[in-house]
Amino acid sequence: MRNFLAMSVSLISLGLAACGSTAPEQTPALEGQTQSLNATGTGCNADTDCASGLCWHEMDSYPTYNPYWISADQCTEECGGSTDHASCQQLAADLNAPYPSRARCIAARGVYDNNPYDHSVYVCDLIPAGLGKINWEE
């Protein structure tokens, strides 16, 4: 009899807890992971710094930029090819760049931290649009 009563009380308390309580909403894990990362168009040191997962440095696109006279970096995104400037200009406009029409799609090499092999991709160069971090060398 005691087992029956204990079981009844347990079932009733479980039913009340399930009906009357509200579980706190769970925050998606991805949101928590990207909150502290640099936004596209800001400076970076490595791909892992960027919410986009892509950190571009001027050395990745030599000879477009000569690392002897400029040091620049930015969190950026891939683009379609050397003539796909419109998507980069739209990205720059969405980021409120001062000169969005100057953004361009350029060839870059070896820009992914997690790919040890030499390879070519196209990325949005947002430096001319006024985004990223740039230092002129003396």
The dihedral region occupied by 41, where left means phi > 0, alpha psi between -120 and 50, and beta the remainder, is left
Amino acid at 49: D
What pTM was computed for the model?
A: 0.69
Q: What is the mean pLDDT of the chain?
A: 79
Sequence spans of domains, the chain: 40-136
Kindly tell me if the per-residue pLDDT of 63 is higher than 80.
yes
Q: What is the mean pLDDT of residues 18-30?
A: 52
Mean pLDDT of 68-87: 93
Angle at 44 between CA 98 and CA 129, to 5 degrees: 20
